[in-house]
Structures are given as structure tokens and as C-alpha cells.
Structure 1
Amino acid sequence: MAVTIKDVAKKAGVATSTVSRTIQDHASISEKTKKKVRLVMEELGYRPNLTARGLVKQNSRTIGVILPVSNGEVFQNPFFLEMIRGISKACNEKKYMVALASGTTEDELLSSIETMAKGGRADGFIVLYSKKDDAIIEYLHAEKLHYAMIGKPYKYENDMLFVDNDNQLAGKDAANYLLRLNHTRIAYIGGDYNQMVTTERLIGYRQALTEAQLEVKTDYILSDTIEEKEYRQMVTALFLAENRPTAIVASDDLVAMSVSYLLKTIGLTVPDDVSIISFNNSIFAEKTQPALTSIDVHIDYLSSQVVIKLIELIEETLALAMKLILPHKIVERDSCRAL
């Protein structure tokens, strides 16, 4: 029976990915480990196949793009669609291909990434989200794979490449914009609060209200990720109350569109009854009615910069630990009015 890479890994007491990278003479593997693995290969009579030997001189020129776990709703979010488009454009310019990694569960997503990594199908990965206690990041970090993140890392911030906006400042700017329009009863409606971007924008919202000496009311902070019937009931109760909010900071354009529709069903209109400011300035922001005032996070620039820096990392022209914080700006449209 032919000796396999798994046999070598077991005998040497290392992961199969370590054997693979030893074959590639990859810089991430220490010389001591390479020597040990090569001795085992010689002892067992293991000979890398032609594909593996070819990897020593060339990479797959493919970037794996990791989407958050979902049942398909991620492909309905304009932020992710525009990010994928931007990454694809930047990769094309660098003569790299793009492969998507997705899954309906964390285990399914992790399996997809492992298959890509161990099969040499991707030279590096871009993670399009950041959340707490993420098994995907733990795997990428433990395996010493080349990866970058769009967003602020929850962990390993000083050991990885990431490109982001200052989302705390953006959240603060959004709330301050409404305060300047004389709104004092401002709600915050977010998506998944396990996602760092949602939480960071909420922190900024809280800071703005606190500095304006306004109470941060817990019942003014909602999430649209709860069961739909319960979410509708909570929105209805909040906005039909006597001291209802007159304005909303929505964590992204999709959340803003959803809550705008719900307000309409209970007889409230935007911006006459409720002003809304959101984030991402996606294509939907200007197409919806009324057009959304939204904070532009420069998705095209985010996506191009993360590709450029990751490829520099892959091609060993960039050190590992690096972060880029990009600016944002408020794009004023029709969804906000002064009191």
C-alpha cells in the first residue's frame, strides 16, 4: 500500500497541513520541523506527487472568501454582494481567482475551509465578518494559514491582517447627526449582536447619547435577528408608545429598509414621523423610497485594500501584523428631517 501524507503526519506527530507546507518549503514552518518531517518522509519512502511538487514553485493563485454562516440570507445582503464583487474585481486585476466558502452551520463552513486549505485550493483567505468565539478564526490561526479580515477582530488583533472602518466613531457620528436635527429620542436597531460591527456601532451610539447627557434606554435598543413575530411586536409596541422614538440609527441599510416597512404597516412614515440613518451606503440606500441617509464605508476601497495586502502577505512582501482603518462619510438623502 502506498504511503500517504497522513502516514507521514502521524509518524512525525504533526498535522497533514504541516507536511504539505514542508513539501512546499513554506516559510511558516520552522527549519527544525521541516527537518523532522523530511526524515520521516525518507524513512517511510514517501514521495510527493507531481501536484505537490509543483506547489513548491507555484501557488494556486486563488483567494478563498469566507462568508458568515447562514441559510442563504447572506446572499440577500447588499453589503456582502458588493464586497464579493469588489474582491473579485481586485483579484482579477492581480491575476488571482476567487473561491467562496459558505455553510449553513459552523461545522459545515469549517469543513469547506479545511478542504480548500488541505487540498491546496487557496493560497489565503478573506473573512468577511468578525464575531466572538469564532471556530473559523481559531482554525486559520492555529494552522498558520494566510488570512485577512474585513472588520475588527475579536481576538488576535495584533497577530493578523485586517481592514476596517472605525465603527465606534461611525456609530457616534450617526447618532450625533440625528442629535443635530434636534432628535432626543433615538433608537438603535441592529442585526446580530455577536457580530463585532453591530456591537461597535452600538457603542458609538451610546457614547453620543451619553455625551449629550441623554439617557440610554434599554427598550430603545432592538435586534432584528429574533423571531420575526416577536420582532414585529416589539417594534410595534415601541413606536406606538406615547414617548416613542422620533429617530433610528439602523446598523445597516437592510435593517433600515426592514424597519421602514414595519413602520409603514402601523401608520408611521419616514421621515415625517420617524427619521432613519443607516450604514454601508449600499445600492439599496439610494433605490429605496425614501432614499436612505447612510454612512458610506467605502466598500470598493475596503475590498481592494484587503486583496492587495493579503496578496502581499502570500507573496511574502508584507509582515503578518497589519491593520488599515479607512474613513467613512455621511451621505445625506431623504430619510431624515429636523424637528
Structure 2
Amino acid sequence: MPTIKDVARLAGVSPSTASRAMHDNKMISEATKERVRKAMEELDYSPNYSAQNLVKRESNTIGIILPVRENQDSLGNNPFFMQIIQGITSVCTEKDYMVSLASGRSDEELIKNIQTLIRSGNIRKFIFLYSKKDDPAFSFVQKEQVPCVVVGQAYGPANQETMFVDNDNFQAGQDVTQFLLDRHYQNLLFLYTDLDEMVEMERIKGYLDRMQSLGLKALSFQLSRVDEAKTMAELQSFLQQNPQIEAMICCDDVIAVRTQRILEWLQYKPSDFAMISFNNTMVTELAKPSLTSVEIFPFQLGEKAASLLLERNLKGLDKPYFLPHEIIERGSTPYL
């Protein structure tokens, strides 16, 4: 099995220079780095990360934090998050990093798993795939003084240790509202599940702001995450009390497809309500009718989160990094 000394000898450099070149040290010229890479490829050399991690007391692994719930709207069941993870992994692979997932069905279980990664796995870099007010897991990571990136709404100042990558969900909430208004729908209903999750809060705030600025009545309805029978009965009653509703804004695609199914059970026709949602995941094409949805580019969100965490570029870290969004029109939003 080739060693770093073999790589250095073939590249015509010292072992220490070869090591620095492998870690993309800025003090090493690109020409030298290229010679080292060619030597590594010729010798089929792979760095011994386990040995390096023991010496540095830090792993070449990024921890991804994503809680789960025992219900159909679990964050972990949403295909949107797999696309973010794919974006993270693409950057980590390029930079010789691995990823490890910390998850849990409760705050206590999640924190225990994060603690294990930090103290037993020597992982000192984390990406949160959610943003939640007063989150105990985030508070724990802050106390450990571990650098992290949050994919989601900022709930504190961005700095060297904590960075935020997000879409402008307030603006997106305004945009989907205006999109429906431009199609002559004025009686709108916003459907959500948990306003403690800041992405939902920002989207509904954008909706409320746009409706109120035009003097229009803004209706909203919370779907239960655990009691489908209760949700069905309460939504049926709500719609009977508000027969003027023409269109629905759902806080994500999973909520939208679930709502379509509930409306079918309640014997509403697909044409009874226009519908628009967020995230533009694969389920939008499978819905009946196919869903108009907001593309928020989750793969790119993951890429940017990983790049910020690994590069730790301090420039501009005093504010969140925003990616654009785009409304993808499909069959669920015909002109009224």
C-alpha cells in the first residue's frame, strides 16, 4: 500500500509539502498541487483519514442535523431534504469530507446523538437542515462552540461560528399570494402545520402582509400533524363556514398533496380550489392536478451550506446568504 512518502518521492517534493498540497494549503503553488495529485492518482493513494483525525482531534466529517417525527409530515420524510443532503455531499466529496447524520424523535434524543458525534466522533462542523425558534439542539451546539451553518431563517447574528443559508421566504410568501391575485383569485386560504418552524412563519407572514396591504381578508388554517380524522373534520367545518374560498396556499408540497387527498375524501372536486405550494419536489408532478410550486433550489442550498462551512470565508458573514426562488406553474392554478 503506497504511503505519503511514496507520493512525495514521485512528485519530487517533501512529505510535508505533499501533505499540505493534499489539504489544498494556500502556501503551496497550483503546479505543485497538480504534481501531487497526479502522483496520488498514479499510485492509487488514499489518505489515512483515521490517523489524521487522531492527531488533529478533529474529523474530516460534517454532521448533518435533521430531527424526525413519528407522523407523515416528518421533516425526514420530505424529499426536499434529500436534495439538500445531495448538495452537501457533492461539495464534501470534492473536498475529501464525509457526512454523518444526527437525528432523533425528541429534543433529548437529538442532542444525545449530536453529543456523541462531537465527543466520540470528533466532529466539529455541523449543518442544521431546519430553523426553529428556541431550539435546544442549536443551543447545545452553540455552547459547544462548534461552527455550524443553518439552512433556514436566521434567528441570531451570522458570524464566524454560525452562518445562515436560506431563501427569502417572506418574499416568496408575498410572491405566491400575488401570483394567485393576478389570476383573479381574491379569497385565499393559507395552510400550515407548525409556526414554530421559521420557514412556515416567514411564508405566512409574507402572505398576510400582501393580503393586508390590499385590504383583503387573510384566512389561515392549521393542519394537525398527528390526527388526520380531527384535521379532516375541522377543515370540512372551516370550509363550510367560509364558502367564499377560491384558492389555497400550502406551506410545502407534502402539505399540499395531503390537502388534496383530504379534499377528495370530503368529496370536493379538484376544480373547486386552485392550489399553490412551496419546494417544488417530485410530488408536484404526481399530484392531481399537478401542483404549481415555488422552486427554492435545495441542491444549491446544500452546496452553499457545505461550502461556507468548509471554507469559513468571513467576508459578508454578518448577514444570511440568500438564494433566489422561482414559481413553477402547473395545472393547479388556472386563471379564474
**How many equivalent residue pairs?**
282
- Check conservation: 1:160, 1:321, Cα contact below 8 A: no
TM-score (structure 1 length as normaliser): 0.78
User: Is the Cα contact below 8 Å between 1:63 and 1:96 reproduced in 2?
Assistant: yes
Which stretch shifts more, 189-198 or 242-251? 242-251
Change (3 A) 1:323 1:154: closer
Report the Cα offset of residue 69 of structure 1: 4.2
1:91 equivalent to 2:88? Answer: no
Q: Secondary structure at the match of 2:260?
A: helix
Q: Which amino acid aligns with 1:335?
A: S
Q: Which residue number corresponds to residue 335 of structure 1?
A: 332
Equivalent residue runs for 1:116-265 within 5 Å: 116-157=117-158, 160-217=162-219, 220-225=220-225, 227-241=227-241, 243-265=243-265
1:293 corresponding residue in structure 2 = 292
Equivalent AA in structure 2 for residue 88 of structure 1: T
> 1:119 and 1:242 mapped to 2: Cα distance?
55
Matches within 5 A, 1:35-54: 54=55
Structure-2 residue corresponding to 1:26: none
8 A Cα contact 1:224 1:255, kept in partner: no
Contact 2:75-2:81 within 8 A present in 1 as well:
yes
Kindly state the Cα deviation for residue 303 of structure 1 after the two structures are TM-superposed.
0.7
Q: Distance in 2 between matches of 1:182 and 1:266?
A: 25
- The one-letter amino acid paired with 1:282 is T
TM-score, scaled relative to structure 2:
0.78
Identify the range of structure 1 (296-305 vs 61-70) with the bigger mean alpha-carbon deviation: 61-70
Q: 1:123 to 1:87 in 2, by over 3 A?
A: same
- Give the match for residue 25 of structure 2: none
Distance across 2 between alignment mates of 1:161 and 1:52 = 24
| Residue identity opposite 2:66 in structure 1 | L
| Aligned-residue CA RMSD (Å) | 2.0
Cα distance in 2 between the residues matched to 1:86 and 1:51 = 26
Q: Which amino acid aligns with 1:284?
A: V
Q: Distance in 2 between matches of 1:150 and 1:337?
A: 32
- The answer to whether the 8 Å contact 1:238/1:244 transfers is no
- 1:55 maps to a residue whose letter is K
State the alpha-carbon separation in 1 of the partners of residues 54 and 278 from structure 2.
47
Query: For residues 81 and 106 of structure 1, do their structure 2 counterparts lie closer, same or farther at Cα, with a shift above 3 Å needed?
Result: same
Structure 2: how far apart are the matches of 1:242 and 1:166? 30
What is the CA distance between 1:321 and its match in structure 2? 4.4
List gaps (5 residues or longer) in structure 1.
1-49
Asked if structure 1 preserves the Cα contact closer than 8 Å seen for 2:187 and 2:217, the reply is no
